Structure 1
Amino acid sequence: FILLSLLVLVHELGHFLAAKKFGVKVEEFGIGLPPKAMTIVKKGETEYTLNWLPIGGFVRLFGEDMDPSAWDKLSGKITGRALFSKPGWQRAIIMLAGIGMNVLTGIVLFGIVYSVLGVPNITGEQVVLTEILPGSPAEISGLKEGDVVRRVGEETINDSSQFVEIISGKKGSQVSIYLAELESDGTTSDASRQVMITPRENPPEGEGALGVGIVSYPVIEYEKKPWYTAPFWGVVEGTKEAYGWSRYMVELLMHPAELWKGIGGPIKVVQIGQEQVQAGWLAFLRFGGIISFNLAVFNLLPLPALDGGRLAFLAIEKVVGRKRSAKVERWVHGVGIILLIGLLVVVTVRDIFA
């Protein structure tokens, strides 16, 4: 939860810094969401506040929601500090700065992880159990989701098709399977255990002889780099992973059904975060990088109340050739916020009863 809030706060910091750079008056930088609990300090023209809802933060910019009809009533000096008075490209940068900060944060977090671990190299494949069906030989024998199949008898397992072929030839006969556990960084544990199991000769349709779901994962080995080049290679690998996650998120958005299955609310994020903490600080930092890129891609969507939605209004303004109606934009973004809160509630309820 703290991680998610910090990443949202970093996002807002991007808007804050870009606005300051272009001379836009920042009226308030809030930690958490309103209602306001207290003013921490008022430095210059900006009020730094602490708010009651401990979720991320926000930036309030002068002229952000001001209607064009009110512009003429402002003096020239004050007007020049308003967001609406800035060229379109500057406003676009201010809107994109939060997304940029999330991208940069993700690269830095991934970079730290790979600076310590080394450069990952794929050296082969490993078969991982992804599902254990109730009442199956796999469940009875104590197989678990996440187990990595190292050997069946004396034969080393290199891919899923080989595993299926060997098990199919052992139906009705007891076999020994040697297993390890898949770690959060893609490597397998050194410890292994042996399980005796008898594949079914006539399994229920669609269940298979063992009653397991399997998938092939790459075998990853990390190549340590000298301390003086480790940060460079860390950033290189971090950028690669950042690109991979961004591409994955975009592809996921193209398939709404899969997106709905994979989407999670704060409860799910906290649960996964706790698991990553237990897996170690590197796993937790990598998780932070993933969440940071999720926030970046999500905010880029052209939906009301998101940065992408505000960019869409700016694009329409440029195409039409006249200033937008602040009243209409406020109404659209207000509806967007209500819909996003509704989605958050639905996803949270689903996570609770999942």
Structure 2
Amino acid sequence: MQTLIVFIFVLSFLVFVHEFGHFIFAKRAGILVREFAIGFGPKVFTKMRGETLYSIRLLPLGGYVRMAGEDAEIVEIKTGTTVYAIQSDEGKLNHLYLYEPSQMDVHSFEVGRLLEADLEKELYVVLEKQDGSEQKYFLDPQAIVHYDNKTQMQIAPYDRQFGSRTVGQKAMTIFAGPLFNILLTIVLFAVYTFMTGVEDRLPVDRVIANSPAAEAGIQTGDLIVAIDGEKVNNMDSLRYKLLESKGNPVTITVKRDGKELNFPVTPQKSGEIYQIGVYFNINEMKREATLMESVADGFKQTYDWSVIILDGFGKLITGQLGIKSLGGPVQMGSITGEAAKAGFEQLIRWTALLSLNLGIFNLLPIPALDGSRLVFIGIEAVRGRPVNPNKESFVHFVGFALLIMLMIVVTFNDIKKVFFPG
């Protein structure tokens, strides 16, 4: 239960940061944000503040910011409907009830049968009064249509809709979600480094007997400084260089008694990684980090891990890695629980990695993801007009369906790995 709670908290936090990026830049562009939601499914908590409904939903596996005009607008009033409208001090209608409000004085309303309406551009309605006369009323740009006691919707003038914004504003609004995840990664890595210190040495504490390192001649007390001539000074860079070798011989450079020595070593595969058979003393690998070093390391680790993640995606596409190597919600939850048990610092580091994965994954040009939406905005910039909304929606729908299928397969793999590891 503790693992589940920690995982939900971490995932919800990452989703919040992602959607907050969309939200902030939508607001900056003047777009009406109808809802800021964490999770999917039935509403658990809602709060209306200003123009936006803030909600927490039952399934904590995502979230969304619903912007006016992003999909086909659903604010409409059918011709012939009897409208009960409230007129503001400026003479504009700011509340339109499509039913007779029982707890309000109907005599204070402008009442009539709807003959004509424009809720997006000219903002007006034409009502047929009880005496048969017709009267045109202009609408407040923030007018609210009340469908029944529980359902209401603010109108969205065209200049408040997503589609009315410039290509740059639309692109930045979509890009801001992944961007905020990447910025969060930098901050979390910087915090982690400040708390744990800078890892800038690889002093060998113990060499496993009969291991590749022992057979090559590496000894306790050696300081590993390079692999194939490229500097390595932390565990992550060492692991990646060994993984990159794919088990082929590498040249490991060590410092011993002030001299640099080179040893040919053939890494051994162990599961999904490659090892040479040495242990390091974590206390000797690090020193305290200054604030500037922590910030710099936050950027460096974000860059280094981005390269690793993109390389992994590339290997998935080329078939070098199979779908069984992917991890989904179950595995992420399990690892999050283990990170929490290992301490607050490790939880911060794991959260940073999840945030970076979320940011980069969303930038991939896969239908239904932010990357795909940016592709359509790019096409709009080139051709001078947007792609047909119905065609774009269909592409995203198909992409979403495929992502759900992939999630089911990955979750099935997760369950086998976590609960039936044999």
| TM-score when normalising by structure 1 | 0.72
Question: Which residue does the alignment assign to 1:351?
Answer: 414
Which stretch of the first structure deviates more once superposed, 321-330 or 78-87? 321-330
2:35 is matched by which residue type in structure 1?
A: E
Partner of 2:172: 93
| Aligned-partner residue type, residue 12 of structure 1 | E
1:105 counterpart letter in structure 2: L
Matched, 1:250 2:317: no
Q: 2:295 aligns with which of 235, 250, 253?
A: 235
Question: 1:255 aligns to what SS in structure 2?
Answer: helix
Report the AA paired with residue 382 of structure 2.
V
Alignment of 1:105-184 (within 5 A): 105-124=184-203, 149-150=206-207, 152=209, 161-165=212-216
- CA–CA distance in 2 between the matches of 1:24 and 1:43? 16
Is the contact made by 1:304 and 1:332 (CA closer than 8 Å) also made in structure 2? yes
Equivalent in 18, 23, 27 of residue 16 of structure 1: 23
Is it true that 1:75 corresponds to 2:121 in the alignment?
yes
CA contact (8 A) 2:167 2:380 kept: no
Distance 1:283 1:241 in 2: 15
Report the CA distance between 1:251 and its aligned residue: 1.2
Contact (CA 8 Å) 1:10, 1:102: kept in 2 or not? yes
Q: Given the alignment of the two structures, is residue 307 of structure 1 paired with residue 314 of structure 2, yes or no?
A: no
Distance 1:15 1:259 in 2: 33
**Would the alpha carbon gap of residues 94 and 125 (structure 1) be closer, same or farther in structure 2, given more than 3 Å must change?**
farther
Counterpart Cα distance in 2 of 1:276 and 1:317: 44
Cα deviation digits, residues 308-329 of structure 1 (max 9, x gap): 0000111112222222211111
Residue 388 of structure 2: aligned partner: 325
Alignment check: 8 A CA contact 2:367 2:399 kept: yes
State how far apart, in whole Å, the 1-side matches of 2:291 and 2:342 are: 23
1:124, CA displacement in angstroms?
4.2
Superposition deviation, residue 34 in structure 1: 2.8
- The residue type paired with residue 234 of structure 1 is S
The CA deviation at 1:218 is 8.8
Q: Is 2:47 the partner of 1:54?
A: no
Alpha-carbon contact 1:6-1:56 (below 8 Å) kept: no
The aligned counterpart of 2:138 is: none
Tell me, what secondary structure is at the counterpart of 2:202? Answer: strand
Distance in 2 separating the partners of 1:83 and 1:19: 8
* Contact 1:112 1:231 (8 Å CA) reproduced: no
Matched-pair contact (CA < 8 Å) for 1:252–1:259: no
* Pair 1:36-2:43 in alignment: yes
Cα distance per residue 1:275-316 (max 9 Å; x no partner): 111211111100000111001110000011100000011111
Residue-by-residue CA offset, 1:184-242 (whole Å, 9 max, x unaligned): x959xxxxxxxxxxxxxxxxxxxxxxx985614795611214xxxx3322111111100
CA contact (8 A) 2:323 2:410 kept: no
Secondary structure of the 2:14 match is helix
- Cα distance change of structure 1 residues 212 and 241 upon mapping to structure 2, 3 Å threshold: closer
State the alpha-carbon separation in 2 of the partners of residues 288 and 346 from structure 1: 24
In the other structure, the counterpart of 2:286 is 222
CA distance in 2, matches of 1:252, 1:312: 22
Aligned pairs, number: 279
Distance 1:281 1:38, change over 3 A: closer
**Structure 2 length-normalised TM:** 0.61
2:14 corresponds to: 7
- 2:207 touches 2:213 (CA, 8 Å); kept in 1? no
Structure 1 residue 166, shift from structure 2 partner:
7.1
More divergent stretch after superposition (20-29 vs 49-58)? 49-58
1:122 partner SS: coil
Does structure 2 conserve the Cα–Cα contact (< 8 Å) formed by 1:7 and 1:56? no
| Equivalent residue, structure 2, for 1:293 | 356
Larger Rg: 2
1:159-200 superposed Cα distances (whole Å, 9 cap, x missing partner): x64423579xxxxxxxxx9xxxxxxx959xxxxxxxxxxxxx
Q: Which residue of the partner structure matches residue 402 of structure 2?
A: 339
Higher relative contact order (CA 8 A, sep 6+): 1
Q: Over aligned residues, Cα RMSD in angstroms?
A: 2.8
Give the letter for the 2:24 counterpart. L
Shift of 1:10: 1.2
CA contact (8 A) 1:123 1:218 kept: no
Q: Percent identity?
A: 37
Q: Secondary structure of 1:274's partner?
A: helix
Distance 1:117 1:222 in 2: 8
Partners of 1:123 and 1:315 in 2: CA distance: 46
Q: Does 1:65 align with 2:65?
A: no
Partner in structure 1 of residue 227 of structure 2: none
Q: CA deviation at 1:261?
A: 4.2
Describe the SS at the equivalent of 1:50.
strand
Distance 1:110 1:312 in 2: 30
Q: Amino acid of the residue matched to residue 253 of structure 1?
A: F
- Label 1:62 to 1:218 Cα distance change in 2 as closer, same or farther (>3 A): farther
- Matched to 1:150, the amino acid is V
Q: Secondary structure at the match of 2:371?
A: helix
CA 1:38–1:280: 2 relative to 1, 3 Å: closer
| Contact map agreement 1:37 1:51 (CA 8 A) in 2 | yes
Change (3 A) 1:325 1:35: farther
Q: Secondary structure at the match of 2:207?
A: strand
Unaligned runs of 5+ in 2: 1-6, 77-117, 123-140, 142-156, 221-233, 237-267, 418-422
Question: Cα 1:95–1:164, aligned 2, differ >3 Å: closer, same or farther?
Answer: same
